[in-house]
Amino acid sequence: MKYDVVVIGGSAAGIIAAKTAKLDYPEKSVLVVQKEKVVLIPCSIPYTFSTLKSVEEGIMSIDGPKKLGIEFLVDEAVSVDHENKMIKTSGDKEVEYDKLVLATGSTPVIPPIEGSKVDGVYSIPKDYEYIKKVQPELKASKNVVVIGAGFIGMEMSDELRKEVEKVTLVEALDGVLPLAFDKDISDYAAKALSENGVEIRTSSRVKRIKSENGRVSGVEFDDSTVIEADAVILSIGYKPTTKLAKEAGFHMGLTGGIWTDEYMRTSIKDVFAAGDCVEHKCFFTRKPSRLMLASTATFDARIAGGNLFGLRMVREKKGNLAIFSTSIEGVSLGAAGKIETTSRAEGFDIIVGKAQSRDRHPGCLSDSSIQYIKLVFAGPSGILLGAQVVSGKSAGEMVNILGVALQNDMTATDLATLQFGTHPLLTSAPTMYPIVDAAKNALREISK
C-alpha cells in the first residue's frame, strides 16, 4: 500500500500530525500506524485509577480523525527503509510513503536497582493493555510505595490513596516535583497530599526493592531503613522510544531523542518527527532537553503536519517552552519557563517578584482558593524567565497567560502595566491581580 503521509504512533503527537496534515492538505491520503488497538489520553492515565469510572473513559477517541478521512492500521512499525520510502510492520506489511512522521513516544525509565523487576513492581507506561491489567492488582494492594515524586508519581499517589489503605510517596531530592517547581511552590501540593493521607518521604534515596518468594515486600533506603510494601510504582521518568529511528540511521540528539530542525524535519529527507521521541531544546538557552509533555508533543505535531509539503507555517525561532500544571486535592500548580533554582543553576542573574491573592473576589465566595504567583526575571533586561502559579483550577490557564508573556519576551515593566480582565466569580480582584502585583514587586526590588 502507499499513502502520501504515513504517521507512526497514535498518541497525541501522531494524531495531531495526521489531523493537521489532513486539514491542511485535504487531497493527501494519510495513514496512522499504531501498535495498540486503543490509545489512552496520556495525561489522564493516573485519573483512570479513581476519578474516572474506568480505564475506558481515558481512551482517546479517533472518531474525529476518521471522519476527516484519516486511515488507521493497528500494527507495529519495525523498520524504516528511507531509500525506498517505505516502512515494514511486524504484521509483514509494507507501506510506502511520500512523507513520514515518527511519533513513537516514550517509555518509563526503570532504574537499575535490585528488585526493580520482581512481581508487584509496576511502572506507568502509556499502554492501555498494561494499565487495564495492572489496575485491579494495584487497587487490591494494601501498602503502595510510589518511587519518584514527579507529576505521575504525585498524581498516582493522590488517586491511589482513595483506593488503598496506605500510600507512601518517595523522592530522592528535597521536596516533591523538585524539577518542576521551587520548593515554596511545591510545598502547597505536598501539604495537600499529606493532609489527605499520603505519607511523603523526601530526600530519601532507594537502595533496593526487597522481595520474598519473588514478590515485592518492601523498599530499602540508602540509610538502611526499610518500609513495607505489597506494591511499588516506579515513576522516575520516561525515555524517548527510538529503536526504530536508531536502527534506520537517523541522527540522534545529545539527550537520546531524535534530532530535528525547527520545522521538525529529521536528518533524513521527507521524514519528520514529533513528540516525546524527539530531542527538544530549551526555550532560553537552546540547550538540548528531554521535555516530554503532551502539549509540547501536539505543538511539534502541528508544526510537522502543517509543513510536510513545504514550509507554510513559519515557526518563531524559539526552542521548546516548558509549561505544565497539575492539581492535587483542589490545590492546582502551574509553571512556565524556568524556576528560581534552575535559573540560578544556569547562571542567570535574576530578580524574583511574588504576590498573593485569592482567585475569587470577595475572597469569602464559597469556591475561592489562595492564589500565589512567583515570577523570575532576568537582570538587567527585566525579561521574564519563568512563572509559577498556585491557585484553584484556573491555575491551568493562568500559567498559559505567563506562557504567552514568555513567548513575547515580556519584561517586568510590561507585566506591571499589563491590562487584564477580572470578575468576582472567576478571578482575583483587579485591585490585587497577582501577576501584575508580582511584576510590580520585582520592579520595586530592582529600584532598591
Spatial neighbors of 354 by CB under 8 A, at least 6 apart, are: 372, 373, 374, 375, 438, 441
213: left (phi over 0), alpha (psi -120 to 50) or beta: left
- Residue among 115 and 337 whose Cβ is closer to a copy of itself: 337
Q: Is the dihedral of CA 385, 293, 237, 87 positive or negative?
A: negative
Q: Which of 115, 120, 178, 334 binds a copy of itself (CB under 8 A)?
A: 334
- Residue among 53 and 269 whose Cβ is closer to a copy of itself: 53
Q: How far is the CB of 213 from a copy of itself (least distance, A)?
A: 38
Asked if 269 and 98 touch (Cβ cutoff 8 Å), the reply is no
Binding flag, residue 382, a copy of itself (CB under 8 A): no
Q: Which of 326, 343, 357, 369 binds a copy of itself (CB under 8 A)?
A: 326
Q: Which of 36, 50, 52, 78 binds a copy of itself (CB under 8 A)?
A: 52
Q: How far apart are CA 352 and CA 192, in angstroms?
A: 25
Taking the mean position of all CA atoms in its chain, how far away is CA 99? 27
Q: How far is the CB of 147 from a copy of itself (least distance, A)?
A: 22
Q: Which of 6, 32, 33, 43 binds a copy of itself (CB under 8 A)?
A: 43
Q: How far is the CB of 168 from a copy of itself (least distance, A)?
A: 23
Restricting to residues 383-422, which ones interact with a copy of itself according to CB under 8 A? 393-401, 403-405, 407-408, 410, 413-414, 416-422
Binding flag, residue 27, a copy of itself (CB under 8 A): no
Instruction: Give the cell for residue 132.
Output: 487495564
Taking CB under 8 A as the binding criterion, the range among 202-210, 264-272, 377-385, 432-440 that sits at the site for a copy of itself is 432-440
- Residue among 231 and 264 whose Cβ is closer to a copy of itself: 264
> In which residue are the cell numbers 515486600 written?
217
Strand partners, 233: 122, 146
102: left (phi over 0), alpha (psi -120 to 50) or beta: beta
Q: Which of 74, 248, 440, 445 binds a copy of itself (CB under 8 A)?
A: 440
Q: How far is the CB of 200 from a copy of itself (least distance, A)?
A: 20
Residue 422, SS3 per DSSP: coil
- Residue among 230 and 359 whose Cβ is closer to a copy of itself: 359
- Residue among 183 and 393 whose Cβ is closer to a copy of itself: 393
Q: Which of 50, 51, 194, 368 binds a copy of itself (CB under 8 A)?
A: 51
Binding flag, residue 31, a copy of itself (CB under 8 A): no
Tell me, residue by residue from 270 to 309, as one string, x for binding to a copy of itself by CB under 8 A and - for no binding: -------------x---------xxxxxxx--xx--x---
Asked if 213 and 197 touch (Cβ cutoff 8 Å), the reply is no
- Residue among 85 and 302 whose Cβ is closer to a copy of itself: 302
Tell me, residue by residue from 306 to 325, as one string, x for binding to a copy of itself by CB under 8 A and - for no binding: x-----xxxxx-x-xx-xxx
Asked if 130 and 107 touch (Cβ cutoff 8 Å), the reply is no
Asked if 180 and 342 touch (Cβ cutoff 8 Å), the reply is no
Q: Which of 218, 433, 434, 438 binds a copy of itself (CB under 8 A)?
A: 433
Q: How far is the CB of 33 from a copy of itself (least distance, A)?
A: 18
Spatial neighbors of 209 by CB under 8 A, at least 6 apart, are: 113, 114, 115, 116, 118, 121, 216, 218, 219, 220, 229, 232
Spatial neighbors of 260 by CB under 8 A, at least 6 apart, are: 266, 272, 273, 278, 279
Asked if 148 and 236 touch (Cβ cutoff 8 Å), the reply is yes
Restricting to residues 141-170, which ones interact with a copy of itself according to CB under 8 A? none
Smallest Cα–Cα separation from 406: which of 345, 343, 338? 338
Q: How far is the CB of 421 from a copy of itself (least distance, A)?
A: 3
Binding flag, residue 446, a copy of itself (CB under 8 A): no
Q: How far apart are CA 381 and CA 166, in angstroms?
A: 49
Taking CB under 8 A as the binding criterion, the range among 230-238, 250-258, 362-370, 378-386 that sits at the site for a copy of itself is 362-370
Q: How far is the CB of 34 from a copy of itself (least distance, A)?
A: 14
